[in-house]
């Protein structure tokens, strides 16, 4: 039986159809994946505010006050200005303990806002009075720097206490009735996109005080949480609009406080009954080289970082701009992105001599792995005190160990571990080159040197399995 005949499309029609399909495919492939802003409909164009929370925050509603020193203004503030986008210039204020100008930017001397009598009679302002005198006589300010260990830092910390309330009052005076007021030092990185998103979840018409409490009993109380803080419009208004004599009432108590942050904390509790609300790890005391990369921070958005040098600040600025060019600006910059940019290129496969990766540093205490005591304990790591090699081997055998450091003399771990030479950590931190030092132990001068190693392959295997959620920060 003959097979049924098939009806074929005419050859010419098939050829035309093929050409049409190929042309359509090329046309679709040629569609741009991304558009320039002006090509998008208005509803799709990037906005100068955020919609994450119910309280929209425009860029001009976030006032950032940078508090610097006479000796640091040009070296640290000038690069900070250069890496601040134009849309944020109007809401950027610069305060110091000496009036200077950086290009067209005034840096306001806020200590001068005190009365002359108060300045003259306050012995703690001796450094300030010397700075003003040197400036009038055109003597370089850097000649006032103290070189004894810790002395310069103590003098600057004292001046910070006298600057902070006046800086807050000046911020309200110069930029009144804005939604949010952020106060930072001159080594601070702020990711404004993330911070605007985060703040949009909070009502500026309620009294809010965001920051992190200092850690007591450690060398640097602000190493983990940083010293930055944020106040809402309501809180600032009640302080500086409703209370005309606030600073006058507190000026005699300033010197009694341990730090500028301590002063602000007590003022807010006493005057407004306002408590501090923690914002870690978004606001932290870390720089990219000191971040404890771990599950605790990995997918968290970066809001504010501290101890950020001008060089690192420039790299972060470039990272933000590169993300914008790659159309990633609507995804928050997370700590995972910092790992990719700062840690992935580093060779961490070999032991580094004269290097401290901060395994035993005070802000790493929660990740510092506990060692076995007298009896074997499967939940704890074996000791590796004999040598750097033994310490590395101990890390290899500990389930959660991601890095180790070895000090030539026992050092504090800031947790339940005693002083040890071997220090293990479940976080990964880059740290820094550390020159050999000498320490005095029981009256004997002893050399102190560091070695550090990482289990980068192990950590990378974990990181490659992690997928951060697409939405912005909670």
Same domain? For 108 and 197 the reply is yes
Same domain? For 153 and 240 the reply is yes
Cα–Cα distance for residue pair 12/15, rounded to 1 Å: 5
Same domain? For 194 and 70 the reply is yes
State both tokens at 309: 């040098």
Considering only CA atoms, which of 357, 352, 471 is closest in space to residue 425? 357
Confidence (pLDDT) at 45? 36
Does the reported pTM lie above 0.75? yes
Domain, as residue range, for 145 = 59-278
Question: Is 395 a member of any domain?
Answer: yes
Confidence (pLDDT) at 48? 39
Same domain? For 271 and 391 the reply is no
Beta strand segments in 243-339, E:
277-278, 304-305
Q: Which long-range contacts (CB under 8 A, 24 or more apart) does 320-323 make?
A: 320/191, 320/193
Same domain? For 247 and 138 the reply is yes
* β partners of residue 353: 451
Confidence (pLDDT) at 50? 46
The count of structural domains within the chain is 2
Confidence (pLDDT) at 379? 80
Cis, bond preceding 281 (omega within 30 deg of 0): yes
- CATH assignment of the domain containing 156: 3.90.550
Question: Is 369 a member of any domain?
Answer: yes
Report mean pLDDT in 10-residue bins for the chain, 474 residues: 51 63 50 38 39 86 98 95 95 98 97 98 97 97 92 96 98 98 98 96 98 93 94 98 96 97 98 97 97 97 97 96 77 95 95 98 96 81 96 96 97 96 98 94 92 97 87 42
Question: Is 164 a member of any domain?
Answer: yes
Q: Which of 233, 252, 278 is the last residue of a domain?
A: 278
Phi, psi of 37, deg, nearest 5:
-55, -40
CB 401 within 8 A of CB 457: no
Same domain? For 257 and 360 the reply is no
Q: Which of 221, 248, 278 is the last residue of a domain?
A: 278
Confidence (pLDDT) at 53? 86
- Helix axes of 151-174 and 233-240: crossing angle, nearest 10 degrees: 90
Same domain? For 231 and 88 the reply is yes
Question: Is 426 a member of any domain?
Answer: yes
pLDDT in tens, 393-437: 999 999 999 999 999 999 999 999 999 999 999 999 999 999 999
Same domain? For 97 and 218 the reply is yes
State both tokens at 218: 């450690």
State both tokens at 342: 């700062």
Question: Is 333 a member of any domain?
Answer: no
Residues 6+ apart with CB under 8 A from 344: none
Same domain? For 273 and 357 the reply is no
Same domain? For 74 and 221 the reply is yes
Question: Is 129 a member of any domain?
Answer: yes
Question: Is 85 a member of any domain?
Answer: yes
Same domain? For 210 and 130 the reply is yes
Confidence (pLDDT) at 10? 65
Q: Which of 235, 261, 278 is the last residue of a domain?
A: 278
Question: Is 422 a member of any domain?
Answer: yes
Residues 6+ apart with CB under 8 A from 458: 402
Same domain? For 274 and 357 the reply is no
Provide the sign of the torsion angle of the four alpha carbons 414, 284, 431, 72, taken in this order: negative
| Category of 121 on φ-ψ map: left (φ > 0), alpha (ψ -120 to 50) or beta | alpha
pLDDT in tens, 188-226: 999 999 999 999 999 999 999 999 999 999 999 999 999
């Amino acid at each position: 039986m003959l097979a049924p005949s098939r009806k074929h499309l005419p050859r010419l029609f098939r050829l035309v159809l093929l050409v049409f399909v190929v042309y359509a495919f090329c046309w679709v492939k040629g569609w741009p994946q991304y558009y320039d802003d002006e090509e998008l409909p208005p509803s799709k164009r990037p906005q100068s505010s955020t919609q994450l929370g119910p309280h929209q925050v425009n860029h001009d509603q976030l006032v950032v006050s940078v508090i610097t020193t006479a000796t640091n203004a040009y070296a640290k503030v000038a690069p900070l200005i250069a890496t601040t986008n134009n849309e944020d210039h109007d809401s950027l204020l610069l305060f110091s303990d000496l009036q200077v100008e950086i290009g067209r930017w005034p840096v306001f001397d806020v200590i001068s806002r005190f009365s002359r009598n108060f300045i003259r009679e306050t012995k703690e302002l001796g450094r300030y009075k010397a700075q003003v005198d040197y400036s009038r006589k055109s003597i370089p300010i850097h000649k006032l720097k103290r070189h004894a260990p810790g002395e310069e830092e103590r003098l600057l910390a004292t001046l910070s206490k006298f600057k902070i309330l006046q800086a807050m009052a000046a911020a309200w005076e110069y930029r009144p009735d804005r939604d949010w007021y952020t106060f930072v030092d001159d080594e601070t990185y702020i990711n404004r996109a993330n911070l605007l998103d985060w703040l949009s979840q909070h009502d500026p018409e309620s009294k809010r005080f965001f920051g992190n409490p200092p850690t007591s009993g450690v060398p640097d109380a602000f190493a983990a949480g940083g010293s930055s803080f944020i106040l809402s419009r309501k809180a600032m208004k009640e302080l500086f609009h409703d209370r005309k004599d606030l600073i006058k009432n507190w000026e005699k108590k300033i010197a009694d406080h341990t730090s500028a942050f301590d002063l602000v904390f007590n003022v807010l509790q006493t005057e407004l009954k306002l408590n501090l609300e923690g914002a870690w790890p978004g606001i932290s005391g870390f720089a990219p080289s000191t971040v404890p990369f771990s599950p605790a921070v990995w997918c968290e958005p970066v809001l504010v970082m501290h101890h950020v040098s001008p060089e690192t600040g420039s790299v972060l600025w470039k990272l933000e701009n590169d993300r914008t060019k790659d159309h990633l600006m609507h995804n928050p910059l997370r700590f995972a992105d910092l790992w990719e940019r700062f840690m992935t290129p580093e060779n961490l496969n070999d032991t580094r001599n004269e290097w401290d990766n901060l395994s035993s540093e005070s802000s790493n205490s929660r990740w510092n792995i506990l060692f076995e005591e007298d009896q074997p304990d499967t939940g704890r790591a074996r000791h590796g005190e004999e040598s750097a090699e033994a310490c590395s081997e101990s890390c290899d055998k500990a389930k959660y160990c991601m890095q180790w450091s070895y000090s030539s003399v026992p050092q504090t771990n800031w947790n339940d571990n005693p002083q040890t030479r071997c220090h293990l950590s479940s976080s990964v931190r880059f740290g820094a080159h550390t020159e050999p030092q000498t320490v005095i132990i029981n009256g004997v001068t002893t050399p102190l040197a560091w070695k550090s190693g990482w289990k980068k392959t192990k950590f990378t295997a974990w990181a490659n399995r992690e997928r951060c959620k697409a939405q912005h920060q909670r």
